[in-house]
Structure 1
Amino acid sequence: MRTSGVGILLLILTSLSGCAPFLDSPYSDQLLRSERRLNQKSQGEIGNPEADGTVRIAVIADSHQNYRELDETIFAINNAADVDFVVNLGDFTNSGYNLEFDQFIDSYVQIRRPAFTLQGNHDSIGAGPALFQKAFGGPNFWFETSSKRWIFFHTNDLEDLEHFDPQWLKDAVDGSAKPVVIFSHAQLTDDARYGAATRAQLTAIQADAKVVLTLNGHNHIYELTDNAGTAVLQVPRVENDWVLLEIQGTSLTIRQMKSGASTSVTLKQ
């Protein structure tokens, strides 16, 4: 039986989306979900997470279309004690389709804590940047609590160069009077992504005396390294694990919640 190009495209989209509905076309910047600027909303809800002296952060990454594992992880986070806020390090879609954004948000809004999401490289394809702007707000932002500045940095230079701004990151670090934690999708020192000059600039920012911890996803595996005293934590894909960070002063405990492993690190002063 001869199949037209349109028929093949519809078959591919059906297999990718599980027959999920969409507005206009899967490539458009139209969403069925009505939520807007979710990151900004969470900033208004976070309150004082350090009131008891410890910040507890649940971190997930790279859910792509693993919706069952995402839902299971959200259930576990909602039932974990004393989580102050949640961070998703991006790549919650495969192709940046609007139906993938809608389906992710269906799950994401079930989180019962303030939650913040980064735009991953897969989320930056096609209309992804416009969809992200609608649902979550701008891709670069920061907020402060009593002891730290928390910076969220867009690393997707190859897919969305317009919003890739290392100078913005440097200014956000330089402007802080407090220790800094940086969240990003790709690692700041990714030599497969950045040219030598950009990588040198980002490596220097990561090693800045104020930056005590950086976190990234993207590579789907757990890894803990160090750059000039800055702890560098790579979070695995949600299918494999999620992490709970407990920060008390300069003490960092990293709990891998599925494997049960736990690591303690002293953050630089």
Structure 2
Amino acid sequence: MLLPFRSYLRLGLTLASAALLISSCELLEFSPNDVRAPDAQRDLTRQNLERLAQQPNPTGGDTLRFAFTADSQRYYDELDPLVSSLNQQRNLALVIVGGDISDFGLGREMRWVNGKLKQLRVPYFTVIGNHDHVGNGRAAYQEIFGPLNYSFTYAGTRFILTDTNGREYGFNGQVPNVPWLQQQLADTVGVRRQVAICHVPPFDGDFDPSLTTSYARALAAAPRLVFNLSGHIDKFGVSQPYNDNVTYISGYSVEQRQYLLLTLWGDKEYKLESIAY
């Protein structure tokens, strides 16, 4: 039986729409809270660790040079000049991003930042920030970057990155994971010096107050600790707030168009430079 022309036209449009939907399904983002990521943008910490393991220390000796930046949230346009400046630094081994990679904890925000930072000539490593916890952010961070707490050793330097966003857990007395931190600090096999890294410093109101003392004591008791690095407060500073000889360094946010260049040598010797870009 022949159908009216309008019926054929309607059927054709329906089939064309269905074909377009099927062919472009991989381009659709069904929800901004979707934490899934393509394979190339998943488990980035592991990928960068593998890359670092293949890279000789650029200084070729005891000295290690790395950069620290933080809080890229909302300031994605500043990442291109940041990457350009970092790529001009001589003998740079790696870059640390001190949290708040995203603003709203969206996976696509984290992937945007990775799209910029993967242009770095050296591997980069992140610690989770409080903004990265928003909504499904914690799951997105774990999907895209990896563990919330982890450590690695390179050129005799142990880097220990810890989730210290206590407020995001309702100050439940478990974040930061101080026993885990103590275990990492105590393991000094093949380690000449140590650097602790977090987003929220222990003297900030977003740090679980019930764990401030134990966190500070863990660092004070740690052998070969050089300093603690943090972001969050968007204000550069160097202090020893607990009078225990532990140095706490707060870095710049991406918005401030400055970052820290840190050079380590010996057991606890270091040089700190503020680089504007």
TM-score range, shorter chain: 0.7 to 0.9
Identity over the aligned pairs, expressed in percent? 24
2:196 to 182, 196, 200: 182
Contact 1:23/1:30 (CA < 8 Å) preserved in 2?
no
Asked whether 1:198 is paired with 2:211, we answer yes
Q: SS state of the match for residue 44, structure 1?
A: helix
Q: SS state of the match for residue 183, structure 2?
A: helix
Match of 2:102 in 1: 93
Q: SS state of the match for residue 160, structure 2?
A: strand
Asked whether 1:80 is paired with 2:93, we answer no
Asked whether 1:258 is paired with 2:272, we answer no
**Shift, 1:181, TM fit:** 0.7
Letter in 1 for 2:123: P
Asked whether 1:36 is paired with 2:50, we answer no
| 1:131-160 alpha-carbon deviations (Å, 9 max, x no partner) | 111111111111113432111111112225
**Shift, 1:33, TM fit:** 7.5
Q: Spell out the pairing of 1:231-250 with structure 2 (5 A cutoff).
A: 231-240=247-256, 241-249=258-266, 250=268
Letter in 2 for 1:39: T
Gap runs ≥5 in structure 2:
1-26
Match of 1:131 in 2: 140
Match of 1:171 in 2: 183
Contact 1:93/1:122 (CA < 8 Å) preserved in 2?
yes
Q: Which has the higher helix share?
A: 2
Q: Spell out the pairing of 1:95-114 with structure 2 (5 A cutoff).
A: 95-114=104-123
| 1:55-111 alpha-carbon deviations (Å, 9 max, x no partner) | 110111011021121221011101211110010001011110222122112112111
Contact 2:201/2:207 (CA < 8 Å) preserved in 1?
no
Note closer, same or farther for the CA distance 1:22–1:138 as it changes in structure 2 (3 Å cut).
farther
Q: SS state of the match for residue 224, structure 1?
A: strand
Contact 2:41/2:111 (CA < 8 Å) preserved in 1?
no
Q: Distance in 1 between matches of 2:216 and 2:203?
A: 6
Q: SS state of the match for residue 193, structure 1?
A: coil
Asked whether 1:64 is paired with 2:73, we answer yes
Letter in 2 for 1:115: Y
Q: Distance in 1 between matches of 2:142 and 2:248?
A: 27
| 1:194-229 alpha-carbon deviations (Å, 9 max, x no partner) | 22x311111111222422211000000100112522
Gap runs ≥5 in structure 1:
1-20, 260-269
Q: Distance in 2 between matches of 1:76 and 1:33?
A: 29
TM-score by length of 1: 0.81
Letter in 2 for 1:84: A
Q: Distance in 2 between matches of 1:223 and 1:22?
A: 44
TM-score by length of 2: 0.79
Match of 1:218 in 2: 232
Match of 1:116 in 2: 125
Note closer, same or farther for the CA distance 1:67–1:146 as it changes in structure 2 (3 Å cut).
closer
Q: Distance in 1 between matches of 2:111 and 2:154?
A: 31
Q: Distance in 1 between matches of 2:206 and 2:47?
A: 34
Letter in 1 for 2:65: R
